[in-house]
Amino acid sequence: MKKRSFLRAAVLAAATAFVPLAQAQTTPIKFQLDWRFEGPAALFLQPVAKGYFKAAGLDVTVDAGNGSGGAVQRVASGTYDMGFADLAAVMEFHANNPDAQNKPVAVMVVYNNTPASVMALKKSGIAKPADLAGKKLGAPVFDAGRRAFPIFQKANAVGAVTWTAMDPPLRETMLVRGDVDAITGFTFTSLLNLEARGAKASDVVVLPYADFGVKLYGNVIIASPKLIKENPAAIKAFLQAFAKGAKEVIANPAAAIEHVKARDGIVNVALETRRLQLAIDTVINSPDARADGFGQLNAARLSLMASQVSDAFNTKTRVSPEAVWNGGFLPTAAELAILPKK
């Protein structure tokens, strides 16, 4: 009897000892998206839904955002551990806050090219960058395309333009109404919004920055210096699980949209599937992405972007390319080989 009691006590002790150990191995990660739960959010919701983060020892929560600037600020404040933001916004934060203790760092490139473009209706007579001279352009003041327009303008010798500011929901409406001649915005957002407002895709002129001499990187995964210092293994695990999920999303966008629908029940599945496919085709599986390799970047191109952002954004200090990027957590080449050949 004593022997049996001893065994029972030993089993109970082992079981109770195991619980906190398992909990200790699960690292919570709060992740901030750049925007609402739209098509591209599937890239992050897929590995959550499929349990890839959990299998990697991570408890990841993904929250909707309201712009890249907000995502950078929230990671900088410590409210979030990691996030998704435009690399130009990360650079701007670094250069304008040189004394900040917690400057987020890019650890993986997702949008190898900026999704920014200039869009106009064909009836405006705008067909190429030079046609924008003297025209009225519209965009919210914080729009990535508007902020980077001086780089596009310089690369294409575009004459002076005038700007009209508006809230994001009014941008495409004002173009359709003729209140402005052209707008800047992310192609996979504004093009579909124009269609929703009655414009046919065939009637829209799209001038992608990446096709007209502006080789800015787009959105990247960022991490807080605190997480980099205290738990670098968690960042590596996150990127490995993300890459696994992203490969599936790229291969089957329609199936992945179901995870977006699960987070926001009112999304238009067909529209968000198109948005995700457009993002994949234009900025994720682009020629530049296939040249650099998914997740990675080119040092010379990063340095050029740092210089261009410093000038166009008129930052307090010059952007240091070495300070905004850390590629040391990237998965292996085999794990990053997720782009289908075109």
Mean pLDDT over 81-109 rounds to 97
Is there a domain that residue 16 lies in?
no
Q: What integer pLDDT is reported at residue 71 of this predicted model?
A: 96
222, pLDDT greater than 70: yes
Structural domain includes residue 22: no
- Domain extent for 165: 116-211
> How far apart are alpha carbons 232 and 227 in whole angstroms?
6
The answer to whether residue 225 scores a pLDDT higher than 80 is yes
| Model pLDDT, residue 238 | 98
Distance CA(54)–CA(61), nearest Å, equals 11
Residues 238 and 107 both lie in one domain: yes
Predicted pLDDT at 87: 98
Residue 223, both tokens? 């991490």
pLDDT over threshold 70, residue 147:
yes
| CA distance readout (Å), 117 to 94, 109, 179, 211, 312 | 25, 19, 19, 9, 16
Query: CA 235, CA 280: separation in Å to the nearest integer?
Result: 24
- Position 297, amino acid: L
Say if 14 falls within a structural domain: no
In a domain, 242, yes or no: yes
* 120 shares a domain with 101: no
Residue 185, pLDDT above cutoff 60? yes
Residues 183 and 107 in one domain: no
Q: Which of 23-37, 100-114, 275-289 has the lowest mean pLDDT?
A: 23-37
What Å distances lie between residue 122 and 89, 119, 125, 149, 166, CA to CA? 31, 9, 6, 20, 22
Whether residue 13 has pLDDT greater than 60 = no
pTM of the model: 0.90
C-beta neighbour count of 26 within 10 angstroms: 13
- Count the domains in the chain: 2
